[in-house]
Structure 1
């Protein structure tokens, strides 16, 4: 499932395979080469957040599911991340050693320091770059493999949420600084458009491999009523750059043509109160349901009852909720931006909002199409078939194979100079 890219040499990137592998690389890794194994391999996964934190999203789910898969392959995994108030500094979950330290800013100082003090204890580090990387190559031992994980380019987000001077620093770190530090380290990203943006906007030098997001094979659905005919839904973090206010506005913008429409918002985050005020200001509190956080069965109940999943985000590496909705036969309306244009097949599993279109116009057009039962059944089938292409098993297997190959490259050959 990994998609190769062209590296700095101009030749297609392919993980190096060697004869006479280190004993810990023998066996089976994922679904690839039967000589490669991760049993006993020590892996550190550095990530900005972890899935149980209040504004965790798809990037956290990706890192955690990959970590779970690696544990299943016999690896010993430490997941190192930030710490929210009330959380324990250390715990073991799903076989993963979870270490939390620092707030959203201090984490970028404390995690590299933690790694520096344990620099010889790990065989490989997965360094997740959420705009700012952890600079693992600068603190680990020379024979410790490092792979960089980048979901999408953050440059425009820096300017959207920080003062201009701070945004410039963020862009400088994400671009020229990270480009040089990771130039010899394989980079993993989740979509073709994210790879293209890394090359075009950051002038990324390292080889890039695409390992898409996945999803669970079985999705439990609770038996709970969901209001609205039709019902549209947003699922995800309630944070500013997701622009959920535009989804709430659909209840007002479409009330004339779709008087029974209800907008359901599922998720948690700092925007919850502002969304409630937005619904009151637009006079649609009776048509907007702010569910907050829901467990998986309840979330799937709301999703599966909806006619459309709507996301108004303009910054995505992929859009994990797009596949979550598709697995339940629900198409998505999203903006035609990097990441989302990969996860939504326009006109097949959803609709993309063009540069000169309004979200409400595209949603209305989609609702009209889906009012035809035959067209709706066609779209639902296409969504389910599309979602079956993406499982966490496939994602984990691709990652395991890549990691095993990176380890093979990092182990010095007999007689090599130390």
Structure 2
């Protein structure tokens, strides 16, 4: 097949996150299987306009907002070239059905519904416009096309909050982490937080909890791994015991993860929570709020702890640290082993070829 993957950013963009990991891990596997894959995306300063990596051709154009019309124009000029378009929604989709041939298969790939996050990141008028595009406009545009979601939470949100009516197939994230040798769990309580430093991740809630936790465990330390627009703001208010590492290579990231007792996500909602599975693959359970996506990625009482929204985070983390033992590590690794990028690529390939597929998610 000739496949176009259109995504807001590529995996080397300075603001790349889980959505970019999903798009790239699948794209490289499609290319490896012999398909022709073109990845159209925005261009960050210093990035080449065009290059090839692992058989995938990258074309970059535009910035945060201009990438959308530019990609549509690019596709319109090549409307007869592609058999399949994977239209990845990062707040709003690219609306590619407007410019491709009717017989071209378009899959809207939905990580999570952004309606509640628009108000966190944008002024009121722009947030309202974003909700209009994500809701009524997208619902009508993709009504004749199948969609792909990464979790049951995302499917429910699409149905209930966006009024999505077309078929939605679950293709979960895989997990791939470095496996450092010679790394042992820290003797004193150690917390890790992995993810982009943006408003809806609410890393500040974790920083606020640290002084109270250190009253009980004076040697407690926290590693925050990730980068984003809030990095300078968070770095200016780091309490004692907290290190903000920024971006780390995979091996270094895995070493810090493997030393932690627990991983913490204070996010107000995710499509899935890729960082949860990365931690679980190294035997580290997660403390998170019981919100969309994270309630799918964390198996409460087995691979972590889900806190009701509004719970004081310090108390939730404290209870988890007091309860933690090696049985959580064993269950975490077993849970992470159920997910692989190869399996996700197989599921999506079958959908693109029009084949019947087994459910990509085991109900629980």
Q: TM-score, normalised by structure 2?
A: 0.95
**Equivalents in 2 of 1:184, 1:309: separation in Å?**
41
CA distance in 2, matches of 1:389, 1:226: 23
Report what 1:173 is aligned to: 133
**SS of alignment partner, residue 128 of structure 1:** strand
Q: Which 4+ stretches in 1 moved above 6 angstroms?
A: 224-228
Counterpart CA distance in 2 for 1:227 and 1:278 is: 25
Question: What is the Cα-based RMSD across aligned positions, in Å?
Answer: 1.6
Equivalent position to 1:348, from 291, 302, 305: 302
- From 326, 329, 341, the counterpart of 2:280: 326
Q: What corresponds to 1:123 in structure 2?
A: 83
Question: RCO greater where, 1 or 2, for CA within 8 Å and sep 6 or more?
Answer: 1
Instruction: Specify which of 383, 391, 394 is matched with residue 332 of structure 2.
Output: 383
Contact 1:145 1:406 in 2 (8 A): no
Contact 1:227 1:262 in 2 (8 A): no
1:262 maps to which residue?
221
1:220 CA displacement: 2.9
Aligned counterparts of 1:208 and 1:346: Cα–Cα separation in 2: 26
- Are residue 235 (structure 1) and residue 235 (structure 2) matched? no
Structure 1 partner of 2:361: none
Q: Match of 1:84, SS?
A: coil
Larger Rg: 1
| Structure 2 equivalent of residue 6 of structure 1 | none
Q: Which residue of 2 aligns with 1:314?
A: 268
What displacement does 1:323 show? 0.3
Q: How many residues align?
A: 356
Residue 113 (structure 1) aligned with residue 113 (structure 2): no
User: Is it true that 1:140 corresponds to 2:100 in the alignment?
Assistant: yes
Q: How does 1:152-163 map to 2 (within 5 A)?
A: 152-163=112-123
Q: Which residue number corresponds to residue 7 of structure 2?
A: 47
Q: Please, which runs of 5 or more residues in structure 1 have no aligned partner?
A: 1-40, 371-375, 408-418
Identify unmatched segments of 5+ residues in structure 2.
357-364
Q: Name the counterpart of 1:245.
A: 204
Q: TM-score, normalised by structure 1?
A: 0.83
1:317: how far off? 0.1
Mapping for residues 182-261 of structure 1, pairs under 5 Å: 182-216=142-176, 219-221=178-180, 229-261=188-220
Within the alignment, does 1:302 sit opposite 2:256 as a pair? Answer: yes
Check 1:191–1:270 CA distance in 2 against 1; reply closer, same or farther (3 A cut): same
Q: CA deviation at 1:250?
A: 2.7
Name the SS for the 1:121 alignment partner: coil
Any idea what SS the aligned residue of 2:3 has?
Answer: strand
Counterpart CA distance in 2 for 1:95 and 1:249 is 45
**Is 1:337 matched with 2:286?**
no
1:27-46 matches, within 5 Å, as 41-46=1-6
In structure 2, the CA distance between the partners of 1:395 and 1:219, relative to structure 1 (3 Å rule), is same
Cα 1:99–1:228 change in 2 (3 A) is: farther
Tell me the alpha carbon deviations over residues 204-225 of structure 1, each in whole angstroms, 9 at most, x when there is no partner.
0110000100012x63326679
- Measure, in 1, the Cα distance between the counterparts of 2:182 and 2:76: 50
Shift of 1:255: 1.5
Aligned-partner Cα distance in 2 for 1:383–1:220: 15
Shift of 1:227: 7.2
Please give the alpha-carbon distance, in whole angstroms, between the structure 2 residues aligned to 1:232 and 1:54: 25
Corresponding residue of 1:272: 231
2:362 maps to none
Aligned-pair distance for 1:249? 2.2
Partner of 1:38: none
